[in-house]
Amino acid sequence: MTTLKNDRYLRAALRQPVDCTPVWMMRQAGRYLPEYKATREQAGSFMSLCSNPDLACEVTLQPLRRFPLDAAILFSDILTVPDAMGLGLSFAAGEGPQFARPVRSEADIRQLPIPDPETELRYVMDAVRTIRRELSGRVPLIGFCGSPWTIATYMVEGSGSKEYAHVKGMLYGNPEAMHALLAKITEASIQYLNAQVAAGAQALMIFDTWGGVLTPSSYQEFSLAYMAKMVANLTREADGRRVPVTLFTKGGGAWLDKMAESGCDVLGVDWTCDLRDARARTQNKVALQGNLDPSVLYAPPEKIREHVGAMLASYGQGPGHIANLGHGIHQFVNPEHAAVFVDAVHEMSRGYHQG
């Protein structure tokens, strides 16, 4: 195995000293980059881009050619797992994801298979292997999946949703069925992430995009408990180094203290929280990732730098911060503004890492 040339991200995830704060951006490979749009056009559809390891590798590397990012993230989607469970995923132009066969009944849940990562999801593992080879140790590669609750939301609704009528209807009306579904997704996701580590992923992230729509008690019972079960069953070492795990619940700021007890290494924080409070509430048990409002990147460079300065000051002295946006980068952001963000983190953070 090639040695890792830049391990700032892995060190910060374990709260070890670094020279400056590492930075990457959620959705760093995406439509704000003209070269991404060109490759996606070449692939035809989003899913054919994900399922072609060479093209998935190409778009993974595109943002790293432009910006001195400290981590690469596998180009794929959280919905590959339910697709492999037989739900029939498609992305209608401008409408987001759709499943042909949503899960609505106990019978539907019983029939769901647990996909074998090296067969049904082989294209993802091949992408991981290709990306690791092409990165040749430049930065670590982050693998990922959705949280069981977030995946269940898409599986039961059949698409994105505003009211969550079907999935919340199941949660409150038939909690046993909801638990049976979550248990199955959890098992599938553990196998999927462990296969990504075996294929070469050096860190893992669980995206809980819809955990924030739950009540405090239902969040613990239906989302956090299953993420904690996942964390307990993940491979935590590869190439002689710890594989850090990040949990990110969008809108989960109120529950960071509970999340910090899940056994994960890093918590993703969205922009509704102050990093200072987040750090106080998690008492340096975990590293924190985030949390610039992605909309700050619409502002001119000087303002972006001011907001980066405020974010770094809010986290304060010492290691344990991975700079990022509080959610994915928007498609209409000027790539030069993303460059300002990345450079500002590196330049302005050095003073927080002395002594």
Contact flag: residue 27 with ligand CP3 (CB under 6 A): yes
Q: Per CB under 6 A, which of residues 198..227 are in contact with ligand CP3?
A: 207, 209
Residue 151: its H or E element? helix 148-157
Tell whether residue 346 is among the known ligand binding residues: no
Per-residue buried b or exposed e for 317-330, using 16+ beta carbons within 10 Å of the residue's own CB? eebbbbbbbbbbbe
Asked about 66 being catalytic, the answer comes back as: no
Q: How far is the CB of 209 from ligand CP3 (least distance, A)?
A: 3
Tell whether residue 27 is among the known ligand binding residues: yes
Q: How far is the CB of 117 from ligand CP3 (least distance, A)?
A: 17
Cα Rg of the chain (Å, integer): 19
Residue with tokens 């996606």: 40
Q: For residue 7, which amino acid is it?
A: D
CA distances from 318 to 9, 275, 312, 349 (A): 14, 13, 11, 10
Q: For residues 259 and 348, which CB has a smaller minimum distance to ligand CP3 in the complex?
A: 259
241-260 footprint of ligand CP3 as x/- string (CB under 6 A):
---------x----------
Residue 102 CA to residue 86 CA, distance in Å, equals: 10
Could you say which DSSP state residue 255 is in? G
Asked about 315 being catalytic, the answer comes back as: no
Q: How far is the CB of 250 from ligand CP3 (least distance, A)?
A: 6
Contact flag: residue 24 with ligand CP3 (CB under 6 A): no
**Other C-beta atoms within 10 Å of 309: how many?**
14
Query: With contacts defined by CB under 6 A, how many residues of the chain interact with ligand CP3?
Result: 21
Contact flag: residue 73 with ligand CP3 (CB under 6 A): yes
Residue 53 CA to residue 57 CA, distance in Å, equals: 6
SS3 327: coil
192 token code pair:
């999927």
Q: For residue 217, which amino acid is it?
A: S
User: Do 32 and 333 meet the contact criterion of CB atoms below 8 Å apart?
Assistant: yes
Q: Which residues pair with 90 in a beta bridge?
A: 98
Whether the bond into 291 is cis, omega within 30 of 0: yes
Of 20-28, 169-177, 216-224, 289-297, the segment contacting ligand CP3 by CB under 6 A is: 20-28
Asked about 77 being catalytic, the answer comes back as: yes
User: Do 257 and 219 meet the contact criterion of CB atoms below 8 Å apart?
Assistant: no
Pick the catalytic residue: 8, 15, 40, 132? 40
Q: Which of 29, 178, 203, 296 binds ligand CP3 (CB under 6 A)?
A: 29
Contact flag: residue 31 with ligand CP3 (CB under 6 A): yes
Q: Which of 58, 77, 126, 221 binds ligand CP3 (CB under 6 A)?
A: 77
Of 27-35, 263-271, 289-297, 346-354, the segment contacting ligand CP3 by CB under 6 A is: 27-35
Contact flag: residue 40 with ligand CP3 (CB under 6 A): yes
DSSP per-residue string spanning 111-160? H-----TTTTTHHHHHHHHHHHHHHTTSS-EEEEEE-HHHHHHHHHHSB-
Q: Per CB under 6 A, which of residues 118..137 are in contact with ligand CP3?
A: none
Q: How far is the CB of 351 from ligand CP3 (least distance, A)?
A: 29
**Other C-beta atoms within 10 Å of 45: how many?**
12
Give me the active site residues, please.
Answer: 27, 31, 40, 77, 154
> Using CB under 6 A as the criterion, which residues of the chain lie in contact with ligand CP3 when the complex forms?
26-31, 40, 46, 73, 75, 77-79, 96-97, 144, 160, 207, 209, 250, 328
Give the annotated binding-site residues. 27-31, 77, 154, 209, 327
The annotation places the binding site for substrate at: 27-31, 77, 154, 209, 327
